Structures are given as structure tokens and as C-alpha cells.
């Protein structure tokens, strides 16, 4: 049984990405999944001056410990103005300062969603490049989920669009298979 850490790259109290990652986590039964909120690890806006003055924040060290304990990650990212959110970028910046290759040897299911038809795909692509290129993670699957409010039922906790549901099931099964090997 592998340990999977799941979180959304959003700081919104009503984050649909958190709802989406929570849904994904609930679908995995053959592994231990821990769902966290990054807002439980608050970090100041990164600056080199702050790092020199105060060092690495305790919350950063705790978050890195959570990531290091996991065999794999499920991450869902939001999008602000066609880019990843400043909140999540800040988290990535801090993590890369304490350990540049903080995702090395981690298999990742990277997802994104938005209320619109784009499904936060631009943010997903940015984060995919950062996670693999800079931080040395392995994206084994990615999934951009469009029009969250139209294609997902929160009351039933399910994807209502049949095509999207089948596609998501496929990527989730492949992710589980990949982390077993």
C-alpha cells in the first residue's frame, strides 16, 4: 500500500479544486490517501531578504515533511488570469528554496479545474513544466476538468458528464497502476 498526499493549489475557502482533489482522493481505495489544505501551512510571500532574516518557516518544513512521507501526490491547481495562482506559486517558490528537487522520486497525478470551459489548462501546463523540469517530479497522469459546476455534482459527489467521468476513471486507474510499479 502506497502513501498518497492530496491537495489543491488554492487558498479559496470555497475552492472547487479542493473539492475536485477531495473527490479524486475518495475514489482511491487501494492506497492510503491523506488530504491536506495548503492554507493549514501559511507562508509569507517569499523574498530572499525574508529568507536571510528569518530562515525557513516552520510551516514550510512541516509541508515538506508531508511531501517527503508520500510515495505519490494528487494535486489540483486553479488558474488566475491564465496562470497559476500567486498563492500556489509562492508555495512552490518556498519549497524549492528549502529543497530544489523536492519532488524527486514522486509520481504525480496533476489535475486542474475551473468554472469555465478552459478547465484551468494553462495553469496545469505551467505547473506540469515546473514540477517535472525544475523540481524533478514525474507526472504520470494529468487531467483538465472543464466547467466544474456543470459537470460535477457536489451533492452526489460525482462527475455528471459521462465522457469526462470515463476519462477521469481511466487516468485514475492508470495513476494507481503506475504508483504500484
CATH code, domain carrying 13: 3.40.50.360
* pLDDT-derived band at 71, boundaries 50, 70, 90: very high
Identify the pLDDT of residue 180.
Answer: 87
Range(s) of the domain holding residue 165: 3-180
pLDDT of the residue at 43: 98
Binned at pLDDT 50, 70 and 90, residue 144 comes out as very high
Name the helix (H) or strand (E) containing 129: helix 121-129
- Per the structure, the count of domains in the chain is 1
Spatial CA neighbour of 103 closest among 140, 51, 64: 64
Check residue 157 and give its pLDDT: 96
Decide if pLDDT at 26 tops 90: yes
Per-residue pLDDT, 181:
73
What pLDDT digit, counting tens, does each position of 44-69 carry? 999 999 999 999 999 999 999 999 99
Contact 113, 16 (CB under 8 A): yes
Question: Which residues have a Cβ under 8 Å from the Cβ of 110 and sit 6 or more positions away?
Answer: 75, 76, 77, 124, 127, 128, 131, 139, 141, 142, 143
Burial class of 98 by CB neighbour count within 10 A (0 to 12, 13 to 18, 19+): middle
Does residue 119 contact residue 84 with C-beta atoms inside 8 Å?
no
* Tens digits of residue pLDDT in 75-114: 999 999 999 999 999 999 999 999 999 999 999 999 999 9
- pLDDT averaged over every residue in the chain: 97
Amino acid at each position: 500500500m502506497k502513501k498518497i498526499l492530496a491537495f489543491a493549489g488554492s487558498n479559496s475557502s470555497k475552492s472547487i479544486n479542493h473539492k475536485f482533489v477531495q473527490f479524486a482522493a475518495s475514489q482511491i481505495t487501494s492506497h492510503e490517501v491523506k488530504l491536506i489544505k495548503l492554507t493549514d501551512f501559511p507562508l509569507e510571500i517569499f523574498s530572499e531578504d525574508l529568507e536571510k532574516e528569518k530562515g525557513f518557516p516552520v510551516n514550510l518544513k512541516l509541508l515538506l515533511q508531508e511531501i517527503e512521507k508520500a510515495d505519490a501526490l494528487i494535486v489540483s491547481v486553479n488558474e488566475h488570469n491564465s496562470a497559476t495562482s500567486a498563492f500556489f506559486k509562492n508555495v512552490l517558490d518556498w519549497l524549492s528554496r528549502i529543497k530544489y528537487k523536492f519532488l524527486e522520486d514522486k509520481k504525480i497525478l496533476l489535475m486542474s479545474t475551473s468554472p469555465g470551459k478552459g478547465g484551468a489548462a494553462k495553469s496545469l501546463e505551467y505547473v506540469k513544466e515546473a514540477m517535472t523540469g525544475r523540481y524533478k517530479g514525474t507526472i504520470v497522469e494529468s487531467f483538465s476538468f472543464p466547467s466544474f459546476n456543470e459537470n460535477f455534482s457536489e451533492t452526489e459527489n460525482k462527475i455528471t458528464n459521462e465522457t469526462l467521468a470515463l476519462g477521469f476513471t481511466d487516468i485514475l486507474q492508470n495513476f494507481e497502476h503506475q504508483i504500484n510499479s
